[in-house]
Amino acid sequence: MRELSELLQYQANRLMVKSNQLVLVRHGESEFNLKNLFCGWHDAPLSAGGIEEARSVAAANLNRAKMTFDKVYCSKLCRSRETVEVILSEMKCSFLPIVSDWRLNERHYGNLTGINKRALANEYGEEMVQCWRRNYDGLPPAIDTSNIYYYQIANNPAFQEVPPTEFPLTESMRMCVDRVSPVWLEIKKDIQKGTRLLVVVHGTIARSLIKLIEDMTEEQIEKVNIPNCVPMIYDFNIKTGKLNGGLKYLGDLEYIEKMKKKVAAIGD
């Protein structure tokens, strides 16, 4: 009887809540991030540093803020799922339902996949590389069979649900926003139901969601940089679905700014 009473009280309290929070997290450093390689749809695992980021940056800050969740969204790429697993383990909530959706996969970087960013900048110039990375319509050359990762990506069983007509060979950010938009509508419905969500995705996908959430211009979103594993919080009015204020970061501000600059740079 006591458990039933507590459950009813919990449900009653939830009905009285007028706002709900969404937490976005970019996955931890991957093996390709570590080597400064374009990754995209290649299924690179987390590096040892990325696992530590998921534990000591994402999970630690979420625990410190006493955040709780009902449901998790992530992509089909293992670096996203591995980050989720570390966070949930550290938060003692590995039982939470996880929605793994290919539409939340990172942007496909086409034939740039597996190539060092600095080497590309040396060959094509920094302006060209930054155009591929940051310009809203910047479109890398399509991947083809000459790329050593072509068949690994094309034959990845994790992507079986991707319709053949929608399987990308390259993507701009505009194309990513279009891909993510239907998922954002599903996430928004969950938010308005009062479901507390953790969404663990990728740099360009986090930026795509931020653009949709804040209705940013193309020029504004091009300047946004997403550090690995830093929790980002939005607060929504449950009734209207509108934002209550802007994006808030959890963590040490000096560290966050340092990591933003690292993401913005082409690197070595």
pLDDT digits (tens, 9 = 90+) for 144-181: 999 999 999 999 999 999 999 999 999 999 999 999 99
Question: Residues 231-257: pLDDT tens digits?
Answer: 999 999 998 889 999 999 999 999 999
Question: What is the model's pLDDT at position 53?
Answer: 99
Check the CA dihedral 151-102-36-218 and report its sign: positive
What is the residue range of 201's domain?
17-264
Instruction: Output the pLDDT for position 13.
Output: 47
Q: Mark the binding-site residues, compressed into ranges.
A: 26-33, 79, 106-109, 117, 133-134
Judge whether 227 lies within some domain.
yes
42 among known catalytic residues:
no
Q: Which of 7-11, 44-48, 76-80, 128-132 has the lowest mean pLDDT?
A: 7-11
Alpha-carbon gap, residue 54 to 230, rounded angstroms: 9
Render pLDDT for 69-85 as a digit per residue (tens, 0 to 9): 999 999 999 999 999 99
Q: Which residue in the list 27, 42, 85, 202 is annotated as catalytic? A: 27
In a domain, 46, yes or no: yes
90 is catalytic: no
Residue 3 confidence (pLDDT): 53
Q: Which helix (H) or strand (E) holds 256?
A: helix 253-264
CA distances from 10 to 5, 51, 62 (A): 9, 34, 21
R_g (Cα) of the chain, nearest Å: 19
Please state, as a whole number, how many other Cβ atoms lie within 10 Å of the Cβ of residue 268: 7
In whole angstroms, what is the distance from residue 190 CA to residue 117 CA?
38
Residue-wise pLDDT tens digits, 183-235:
999 999 999 999 999 999 999 999 999 999 999 999 999 999 999 999 999 99
Instruction: Write down the pLDDT at residue 267.
Output: 84
Specify the CATH number for the domain of residue 46: 3.40.50.1240
**159, part of any domain:** yes
* Residue 7 banded pLDDT, cuts 50, 70, 90: very low
Identify the H or E element spanning 21. Answer: strand 19-26
Binding residues for substrate: 26-33, 79, 106-109, 117, 133-134
Write the CB contacts of 230 (distance below 8 Å, at least 6 apart in sequence).
Answer: 25, 26, 57, 58, 61, 249, 250, 251, 256, 259
CA atoms of 83 and 59, how far apart (whole Å): 10
pTM of the model: 0.93
DSSP, collapsed to helix, strand or coil, labels residue 144 as coil
Residue 6: inside a domain: no
pLDDT in tens, 136-152: 999 999 999 999 999 99
Q: How many domains does the chain have?
A: 1
10, part of any domain? no
Distance CA 258, CA 255 (A): 5
The verdict on residue 202 lying in a domain is yes
Q: Which of these is catalytic: 53, 82, 106, 171?
A: 106
pLDDT(87) > 80:
yes
The answer to whether position 3 is within a domain reads no
List the structure tokens of 251.
């963590």
In a 10 Å sphere around its CB, with 0-12 CB exposed, 13-18 middle and 19+ buried, how is residue 126 labelled? middle
pLDDT band at 47 (very low <50, low <70, confident <90, very high): very high
CB 80 within 8 Å of CB 98:
no
Domain contains 2: no
